Amino acid sequence: MHCMPGPDFSEEMRLIKSGAAIIAGVDEVGRGPLAGPVTAAAVVLNSKDIPAGLNDSKKLSIKSREALAIEVHARARVSIAHASVEEIDALNILRASHLAMERAVAGLGIAVDHALIDGNMIPKALICSATALVKGDARSVSISAASIVAKVMRDRIMVDLAQQHPGYGWERNAGYPTKVHREALLKLGVTPHHRRSFRTVHNML
């Protein structure tokens, strides 16, 4: 079976050749869940010390994701930021995920020359120039590193929230609308961590 090559550093190299020194890969996780925050990460890799095995976080096992997240935190500059359920409901999920991305880039605490953003849209209030890369987590190692650390962090948050609100299966489904989660909504009702602007939740209220 012919396998797609994994992400590489070529987008970053192109930018470095054109004069950008500090390039951040940016990605978010948690657009689809019915509960919990949306989490974004910005990662500036060291071109001479890139962890091996970086890939789209959805293609990695939980164990490899967690091991790679530790590597990325140790060897790159990382910033993780969130937009809360309240912000998601007030703004809408797209704008809230862009807000989380803007916060992540600002939180790096260094002047970023250029950001590589996963997706087809560039957040309005980014503090630097940016390129949107569709399926960026499968193309750029900086974006895949961001997708991994954001996913690991958000999964941890959902495990913590699951202990406060047992029964919804958040420790396994991360707030996504699985059968267990939807049945628990009917049986247990809506928690303060549910996104009221999402149709499934809204229709129950």
Domain count, the chain: 1
Residue 38 lies in a domain: yes
Q: What is the pLDDT of residue 4?
A: 60
Report yes or no on 189 lying in a domain.
no
Cβ–Cβ < 8 Å for 143, 118: yes
Residue 66 lies in a domain: yes
Domain containing 146 equals 10-152
Query: Would residue 3 count as lying in a domain?
Result: no
Q: Give pLDDT tens digits for 21-65.
A: 999 999 999 999 999 999 999 999 999 999 999 998 989 999 999
- pTM metric for this prediction: 0.96
Q: Residue 15 belongs to a domain with what CATH number? A: 3.30.420.10
Q: List, in sequence order, the alpha helices (H) in 50-134.
A: 62-75, 85-91, 93-106
160 domain residue, yes or no: no
Please count the other Cβ atoms lying within 10 Å of the Cβ belonging to residue 62: 10
127 CB-side CA count, 13 A: 17
Let me know if residue 96 belongs to a domain.
Answer: yes
Q: Is residue 173 part of a domain?
A: no
Dihedral angle computed from the Cα positions of residues 83, 160, 154 and 104, in that order, rounded to the nearest 10 degrees:
50
Whether 201 is in a domain gets the answer no
pLDDT in tens, 105-136: 999 999 999 999 999 999 999 999 999 999 99
